[in-house]
Structure 1
Amino acid sequence: MELISEIREVVLEVLKKDYPEQTPELEDDVDLSEYGISSVTYINVTVLLEDKYDIVFDDEKLDFTNNNTIRQLTEYVRDCISNK
């Protein structure tokens, strides 16, 4: 599975926990807040990504405004993986 698809699945997993009645079609360049992701929910996403890929998000990347789309998250995770 392609990395961006895997990250999309992680975001969907978190959304399903918080909003089980809806399953949105996630677009890669849409602000995650439009799907109901808050700064607190975003931390849940980052923790899952850190565990899944054995990476650590830099403190500035934990700010929801810095990585607020699936594409931005994917680029950051890809950079972290390649720099391990």
Structure 2
Amino acid sequence: MAEYSSPFASGPGGVMTDDVGVITGDLELRTEAGEDGLVSVYVRYEEADEWYRLRGASCVVHDPRDHRALHMALLGVLNRPAG
């Protein structure tokens, strides 16, 4: 299984999770791609223990090299630091 993880700052509305609803603030994004190409997407409060599934973000990649590009695209959409 391949995995990427990156810190980011959520925007004013935060991000929606399947597990606990909206979370805000300094967060971390993690994507995991299995051998079958299924990519699972999680977020957590920065340096917390518990991960939450990001609503509507799981998908399938047909080429394992696309996993990193998908992770970076999600990070670009989610990262909205104040300023």
TM-score tier by shorter-chain length is 0.3 to 0.5
Structure with bigger strand share is: 2
Could you tell me the TM-score, scaled by structure 1's length?
A: 0.32
Structure with bigger helix share is: 1
**Which one scores higher on RCO, CA 8 angstroms, separation ≥ 6?**
1
Could you tell me the TM-score, scaled by structure 2's length?
A: 0.33
